[in-house]
Structure 1
Amino acid sequence: MSTVIYWFRSDLRLLDNLSFLLACGESSHIVPVFCHDPSDRALTHWGFERVGVHRRAFLAATLADLAGQLAARGSELIELAGRPQDVLPALARSIGATRIVSEAIAAPDEQDAVQALRTAGLNIDMVWQSSLLEPDALPFSTRRLPEMFTLFRTAVEKADVAPVAPEAYPALIPPLPALPSPLPHRWQDTPHPLPAADVRSSFPYQSVFCAGGTSAGLAHLHQYLDRKLAHTYKDTRNGLTGLDYSSKFSPWLATGALSARTINAAIEQFEDEFGANDSTYWLWFELLWRDYFRFLHLKYGRKLYRHHGLADAGMARPVHDAAQFARWTHGLTGEPIVDAGMHELAATGYLSNRLRQIVASYLIHDLGGDWRAGAAWFESQLVDYDVYSNQGNWLYLAGRGTDPRGGRRFNPQKQARDYDADGAYRALWKTA
C-alpha cells in the first residue's frame, strides 16, 4: 500500500464517512487535507464575496472540531491555502503520493477542480456519499429520475428503498508520512473573533449547542430527540423565529459534519422507542427532498446552471438591476416581511425555510430580478448553504426546474397574514 491524500470537501467528519474509510483501508500513510480556496473570498460576478463572514466562521469551527477528532486518533488535519488544483499536486510531489481519495460532488465548479487534478496526472477516486439513499438502490437509474418530486417519493416508498446503516468512526487511521518543512502552501490563519451573536437569532452558531462540527451536531441531534421535538416537527416547521420550530439539522448536513444516514438512523431509533407519527415521517420527507436535488444533479449536471435552467432555451434571460438587488439584500424594499427576513439573514447567516421562499419569490416575481444573483447571495450568506438544495430551490421558484407549474410566487402580504399575523417577526427584525 502507498501514501494517499484524503481531500476533505463537504464531508467534514470522521463518523460515517465512507470515502475516508476507503482511504484508510487502502493506504499505509494517509494525509488528511482541506484546501482554503481563495476564490471563496473573491468577489462574485454580482459584486460580493462568494463566502461571507457567517459561513466562514461556521466553517472555521467545523474544521477545528475535525482537527481535534483527527488529533485524538493520532493524525492531523493539513490545511492548505490555494486552489485544490494548484496546491494538491504540489503536496503530492513533496510526499511522493500519486493518489487522492475524496467524496464526489456533482456540481460544475467542484467537478472542474477534479478534472484539473486529473489533468495534472493525479489518480483520484471519488466516492458518492452525500445522499441518504444510494443511487444504485433506487427503483430507476438517475438518468430516468422522475421529473416531479412526488413521483420520485412515491416510487421510492413503494419500492421500500431504505438507507443502509451508517458506518462507525474509523478503527485506525494510518499515520502521516514524513512531511517536508516548510510544507508548501501551508494555511496560516489569522484568528478573527466570531461575528457578534444576535440575541434574536434562530440559529446562534456562536453558542456551544449550535457550533460547527460533529461534536456539536451530535449534541444537538440527541437534544432535539430527547426533548421529543421530532413528534411536533410538522406542526411547527413553518415557524419564523426561535430555536425549536424546525430541526436545525441543515447546517451540519451542509458542511458534512453529520451525514443524512446518521440523522435518519437516530430518528428511526426514536420512532422505535417513542412511536412514529406524521412529524417523524415529515423529517424523512425533508431528507428525501434533499436527496432529490442531489439526484437531479446526477441527471442534469451543468444544465441546472444555465440562465433558463431546464426550461425552454428561448426563455428570457433574467435582468439584473444592481441598485434594486442591493435594496433587496439590505432589506430596503419597503415590503416589511421581506425586509425583516433579509435583515435576519445578513445579521445571523440563517433564515427559516418559509422566509427563504418568501424573500426569494419576491426577488424573482415582484422585483423581476435575476434568480442567479439571489442564489449567489444565499450561497454567500447561509451557514447551511448546500450547492444542490440551493440551486434546486431557486430553479423551482423561478420556474426553470422540473416543476410543471412554471414558477411559484408567494404573495408577501398573504404570507405575513398566515405566518406572522401578530406582526411579531416583523417587529423583531424591523432593523438589521
Structure 2
Amino acid sequence: MSTVIFWFRSDLRLHDQPALAAALASGATHLLPVVCLAPADEATPWGFARVGPHRQAFVAAALRDLGARVAALGNPLQVCRAVPAVALPALARAVGASTVVCEEIAAPYEQAEVAALRAAGLAVHTVWHSSLLQPGDLPWPVAELPGVFSPFRHAVERAGIVSPQPLPVPASLLPPPGVAPDVLEAAGALPSPGHGADLDGGATTTSAGRDPRSSFPYGTPACDGGEMAALAHLAQYLARKLPHSYKATRNGLTGLDYSSKLSPWLATGALSARQVFAELKTFEREHGANDGTYWLWFELLWRDYFRLLHLQHGRALYRARGLSAVPLAPHNARGFERWCQGRTGEPLVDAAMRELAATGILSNRLRQVAASYLIHDLRGDWRAGAAWFEAQLVDYDVYSNQGNWLYIAGRGTDPQGGRRFNPVKQAHDHDADGTYRRMWSMS
C-alpha cells in the first residue's frame, strides 16, 4: 500500500483540478486529502493577521462544502490548524506517506512552505493551475514577459492563445489510508468539516457577513464560500445576461450586480478561471459578444499577468522599491493608522476604509482610490497598505493584491510610473449624490 497526500491550497474545489488529477494518477493506492488552516494568531511582518476574520469565515464555508463533496466521493477531508511544515510531515508519518502533491504558488511565503516540506524529507510535486492561460503556451518564455500589460495582451490576442478546457469533477477518489481517526487526530487533524471542526478559529460568520450594506454578503446562501455556491453564482450571472453590461457598470460602488463578484471564489480557488472562461465563451456563442463580455476576458487576462509577473520576478516584487530603482521614502505611520481607521478626513477614502473593515469587500474603483490616497497623499508605505488589505479582504489574492499595489505605487509595471486618483474628482464621478459616503459615514 502506498499513500499520496493531496494538499489543498488556494484551490478549494473539485472541478478543473489538474493538481488533484496528478495525485490520482501518481501510482499511489491511497489518497489523504488535507487542508492546513493558518493558525489564528499568525501575523504578517506588519503585525496584521495573515487571514482576518472575514476571510476566515469565507474559507470555513468553502471547506464545509469541500469536505462534503470529498466525503461524497468516499474520502474524508483532513483539516489541520497548523502550518504545513508541522502538519504534513506528522500526517505523512502517521499514514506512511512520502509524497505530497499540491498547487504551485509563485509567491515567497507560499514558496517557503514548500521548501520547508522538502527540508523535512517529503517529496513535493507542485502543479501550476491557477491561471487562465498556461505559461508554456505564451509567445515568449516567462523570463521575457513584456514589462507592460498592453503589449502582453495584444501579443496573446494576436497569437490566438486559448485557455485549456476545464477538467470535470473526478468520478471517484482513491480510498483513504487505513489509519484510525484517532491516529490522524493525534497527528494534528481536526474532526471532519461539518462535524464540530473549528474551521474559522472562532471567527464564525457573524453579522459582518450579513451586513445589509455589503456588496457581497458572504454570510448568506447566495454568497456562501463553497464551490457549489460559486458555480451557482456564475450560472445566474450568465443567465441574467449581466456580462453584456459589465463594462458599463464595473466602476459601481455598491450592490451585488455592478460587477461579476467572482473574485472571492476565484481567490480561494472554489471557482476555476478556466471554468469561468469556458462558460463565458458558451454565453457569447448563444447570446452574442460585446464590449462587456470582452472586458471580462480583459480582467481575467490582468489576473493572469499578475501571476506571470510572480513567475518572472519572484521576491523582487516584495522589495520596498519593487521593480523600481527609486528608494522608498520613510513611512508615515500616523497617516497610515488614520487611513486604516477611516479617519483621514477625506470623505470618500474614509467611507471606503469603513466598508472594508465592516464587510471585507470593496469595489475595484475604491481600492484604487484608497491605495492611491495612502501612497500619494499620505506618503504611506505601499507594503503596509498591501498587508492591511491582506488582513481585511474576503477576496484576497496574493498575486493580484501585490500586483495592484505595485502598480498604483509606480513600482511595478505601470508605464506612467504610478497612478494618483483625485478623491474629490472620483467622488464627483462615481458618488455624485453622496449616497455611498452617507452609507458609510461615522454617524
Describe the SS at the equivalent of 1:115. helix
Deviations 1:133-155 (A, max 9, x none): 00011111111100010000000
Describe how 1:234-383 pairs up with structure 2 within 5 A: 234-312=247-325, 315-383=326-394
CA distance in 2, matches of 1:48, 1:125: 31
Deviations 1:165-212 (A, max 9, x none): 100001220010022423211235165541202101001001111110
Do the aligned residues in 2 keep the contact of 1:307 with 1:318 (CA within 8 Å)? no
Structure-2 residue corresponding to 1:33:
34
Describe how 1:116-265 pairs up with structure 2 within 5 A: 116-180=116-180, 181-183=182-184, 184-187=187-190, 189=198, 192-196=203-207, 197-265=210-278
Candidates 396, 402, 416, aligned match of 2:413:
402
Structure-2 residue corresponding to 1:61:
61
Describe the SS at the equivalent of 1:354. helix
Deviation at 1:48, TM superposition (A): 2.5
Deviation at 1:45, TM superposition (A): 3.0
CA distance in 1, matches of 2:43, 2:105: 23
Deviation at 1:324, TM superposition (A): 2.0
What residue identity is the alignment partner of 1:229?
L
Deviations 1:212-250 (A, max 9, x none): 011100110011011110110000000011110000000
Do the aligned residues in 1 keep the contact of 2:73 with 2:171 (CA within 8 Å)? no
Describe the SS at the equivalent of 1:7. strand
Question: Does 1:3 find its partner at 2:3?
Answer: yes
CA distance in 2, matches of 1:121, 1:328: 45
> CA 1:50–1:318 in structure 2 vs 1: closer, same or farther (change >3 Å)?
farther
What residue identity is the alignment partner of 1:293?
F
Structure-2 residue corresponding to 1:102:
102
Describe the SS at the equivalent of 1:402. coil
> CA 1:191–1:342 in structure 2 vs 1: closer, same or farther (change >3 Å)?
closer
What residue identity is the alignment partner of 1:284?
W
Do the aligned residues in 1 keep the contact of 2:332 with 2:378 (CA within 8 Å)? no
Identical columns (%): 60
Do the aligned residues in 1 keep the contact of 2:333 with 2:380 (CA within 8 Å)? no
Give the TM-score normalised by structure 1. 0.97
Deviation at 1:116, TM superposition (A): 1.1
CA distance in 1, matches of 2:50, 2:332: 19
CA distance in 2, matches of 1:332, 1:163: 44
What residue identity is the alignment partner of 1:185?
G
What residue identity is the alignment partner of 1:85?
A
Deviations 1:348-378 (A, max 9, x none): 0000000000000000000000000000010
CA distance in 2, matches of 1:266, 1:123: 36
> CA 1:122–1:331 in structure 2 vs 1: closer, same or farther (change >3 Å)?
same
Deviation at 1:90, TM superposition (A): 1.1
CA distance in 1, matches of 2:163, 2:204: 40
Describe how 1:410-421 pairs up with structure 2 within 5 A: 410-421=421-432
Query: Which stretches in structure 2 are left out of the alignment for 5+ residues?
Result: 191-196
Describe the SS at the equivalent of 2:29. strand
Do the aligned residues in 1 keep the contact of 2:18 with 2:167 (CA within 8 Å)? yes
Describe the SS at the equivalent of 1:152. helix
Deviation at 1:129, TM superposition (A): 0.2
Deviation at 1:317, TM superposition (A): 2.5
Do the aligned residues in 2 keep the contact of 1:85 with 1:113 (CA within 8 Å)? yes
CA distance in 1, matches of 2:151, 2:203: 47
Describe the SS at the equivalent of 1:320. coil
Structure-2 residue corresponding to 1:388:
399
CA distance in 2, matches of 1:103, 1:141: 21
Structure-1 residue corresponding to 2:438:
427
What residue identity is the alignment partner of 2:55?
R
What residue identity is the alignment partner of 1:34?
V
Describe the SS at the equivalent of 1:232. helix
What residue identity is the alignment partner of 2:294?
Y
Deviation at 1:81, TM superposition (A): 2.0
Deviations 1:42-80 (A, max 9, x none): 333333222111010001001111001001111111001
Aligned length: 429
Root-mean-square deviation (Å):
1.3
What residue identity is the alignment partner of 2:4?
V
Deviations 1:260-316 (A, max 9, x none): 00000111111111000010000000000000000000000000000000000xx23
What residue identity is the alignment partner of 2:323?
L
Comparing 145-154 and 170-179, the one that deviates more: 170-179
CA distance in 2, matches of 1:231, 1:256: 25
Structure-1 residue corresponding to 2:193:
none
CA distance in 2, matches of 1:357, 1:82: 34
> CA 1:418–1:229 in structure 2 vs 1: closer, same or farther (change >3 Å)?
same
What residue identity is the alignment partner of 2:217?
P
Deviation at 1:323, TM superposition (A): 2.7
Comparing 383-392 and 79-88, the one that deviates more: 79-88
